[in-house]
Structures are given as structure tokens and as C-alpha cells.
Amino acid sequence: MTTTAIEKDEIQLVYISERCAGTDDAAITKIKLRAEPNNHRRNITGALLFTERYFLQYLEGEAAVVDALYASIGRDSRHTNVRLLMRKPIQQRDFARWSLGVKKLLDNEENQDLIAVLNMIGRASKVTETQLEWFKLALQ
């Protein structure tokens, strides 16, 4: 007799938030060190992009687990103004290899376009599919 694994519904979620004054780069390293084993245990994958001002995070996994993590992240005092940009069902993960990839987007000439877009998203709390593709490429 064969058994078929029942796939749980998976989602991808993206939010933007603003770093609090005390959240320096060392604090972000601490977040990463804690988040990696947590996410692994919960079968969550994702990536965190940050600039001097913003965080933009992708989270992927079982819907209820991702929603619960997002709720807890939303209460974290190391950032503020947490806004959901996208939440959608997925068949396939974009960050399957990472429990939490973390990347700092340096404020240099090479990144000016991405930083300008991020500032725009931060002000408007809205993002387009195309803009999300750019960030995905920058993170992968």
C-alpha cells in the first residue's frame, strides 16, 4: 500500500519595517543567529534585506506557522512601523536553501536604484510584483 504525503498550504509573505535607533548591525547579527535555528525548526525559509533605515523580509513556509512568526516579529521592539506588503500562496519557494539569508544593502553607487525604490516603498507601504522581483534578485 502506498501513502501520499499531504502537502500543507504554503505561503510567501513580505513586509517592510524601520530599524529602531538602537538596532545597529551587531543587533542584526544577533537576530540572525537566533532566527536561523528557529526558522529551521519551523521549516521556514527566507531572507532579510536591510539598509540604514529599513528592513525588508521574505518569509516562506506553512501558512499558520509563517503568520504566527510574522505576528511575533511585528511585536519586536527592535523595529517599528511594520507593514505587510505581500502574502500569497506558493507552490515553490524562492529561498528554499536559506533558513534566513541576511544582506545589507550598502549605500553606494551600485545600489542607488534599489535604495531609491526601497525608500519609495517605505513611504507608500505598497510594492509592485516587478519591484519585488528586483529585491528577490538582489537577495539570491
At what angle are helices 129-139 and 112-124 packed, to 10 degrees? 130
Tell which one of 25, 52, 76, 107 touches ligand FMN (CB under 6 A): 76
Binding of ligand FMN by 46 (CB under 6 A):
yes
Quote the cell numbers at residue 119: 525608500
Q: From CA 80, how far away is CA 136, in angstroms rounded?
A: 23
Element (H, E) at 69: helix 63-74
Task: Give the torsion through C-alpha atoms of 120, 124, 128, 134, to 10 deg.
Answer: 30
Contact string 77-96 vs ligand FMN (x = CB under 6 A):
-xx-----------------
Q: From CA 137, how far away is CA 139, in angstroms rounded?
A: 5
Q: Which stretch binds ligand FMN (CB under 6 A): 3-11, 69-77, 89-97, 112-120?
A: 69-77
Closest CB to ligand FMN among 112 and 140? Answer: 140
Q: Which stretch binds ligand FMN (CB under 6 A): 35-43, 85-93, 103-111, 132-140?
A: 35-43
Tell which one of 12, 39, 45, 51 touches ligand FMN (CB under 6 A): 39
Residue with cell 537566533: 34
What is the closest distance, in whole angstroms, from the C-beta atom of residue 7 to ligand FMN in the complex?
Answer: 22
Binding of ligand FMN by 57 (CB under 6 A):
yes
Closest CB to ligand FMN among 11 and 35? Answer: 35
In degrees and rounded to multiples of 5, residue 134 shows phi and psi of -60, -45
